[in-house]
Amino acid sequence: MVSTGNYVYTFGDQVATGASILETGNQNIRWETSTQSNLGLDMSLWNDKLTLTTDLFIKRTDDILVRVPIPQAGGGSRPPFVNAASVENKGIELGLNYRQRLGKSTLNIGANISSISNKVVSIADSEPISGGFGLSDGPITRTEAGYPVGSFYIWEMEGIFQSQEEIDASPFQTTFTRPGDVKFKDLNGDNKIDDKDRAHAGSPFPDFSYGLTMGLTLGNLDISTLIQGVYGNDIYFLYGNFAYETQLRGFNSYGSHS
């Protein structure tokens, strides 16, 4: 991939537009590989009126494509993709279904729940991958070995500044810090708040997902309902970001509901 507008050369009296490499390719990339182990149990009772399905699984995916940084001598192009990461998912899935005929009608009720644990096993040269950029705060997620993919990597709140004296006696945050601002924890003890004080603080993956279906057949009429949801996943509230809430704007700040 090349760009034809970044470099301009003059040859004699003629101006020529040059080209630069924007991205380094890799002809050796290949498909990722996966291995999975399952342990399942299926049960049915009362002439299949009640059925139960259980599945325990462990799945490991290797040779995942990630970008590996290149030396500065390689130029300013984007690093190439390399098969150099592994991720493990393990969990359990449960399903329960009840089916009953009521004269010419049929009642069907089903419920399911699943829980998955996600973890990065290894990544190229142990280089973390940052993402989810949050304006002035920089990246808000970090993918590295030992943690879930896209784990939130942010500062830890330990209170609200109550006075200027408390600000002066605390690790330095910014020159704009005022009473009422969030007080962050100095994790490495160097008496200032910077990127070295960020820590893994949550996962975007839910603790479990669930679903419920209900259906009733009355002759040629079918009535059905579906309910589904997740629980336990962390969410980053970008609209509460410092950069959003301190801009001079002609309308009120955003609110949140829980």
pLDDT, tens only, 109-141: 999 999 999 999 998 776 788 887 765 567 888
The tens digit of pLDDT for each residue in 29-59 reads 899 999 999 999 999 998 889 999 999 999 9
Q: Are 88 and 57 a contacting pair, CB within 8 Å? A: no
pLDDT score of 164: 92
Integer Cα distance of 89 and 57 in angstroms: 8
The pLDDT value recorded for residue 9 is: 58
- Residue 27, pLDDT score: 86
Residue 248's pLDDT band, with cuts at 50, 70 and 90, is very low
Q: What is the pLDDT of residue 126?
A: 66
Asked if pLDDT for residue 216 goes beyond 70, the answer is: yes
**20-30 pLDDT per residue, tens:** 667 777 888 89
Domain parsing of the chain, residue ranges = 32-155+198-245
CB of 211 closer than 8 Å to CB of 235: no
Mean pLDDT of the chain: 82
Neighbour order of strands in the sheet with 81-102: 33-45, 50-67, 81-102, 105-123, 208-218, 221-231
pLDDT tens for residues 142-173? 888 999 998 999 888 888 999 999 999 999 98
What's the whole-model pTM score?
Answer: 0.72
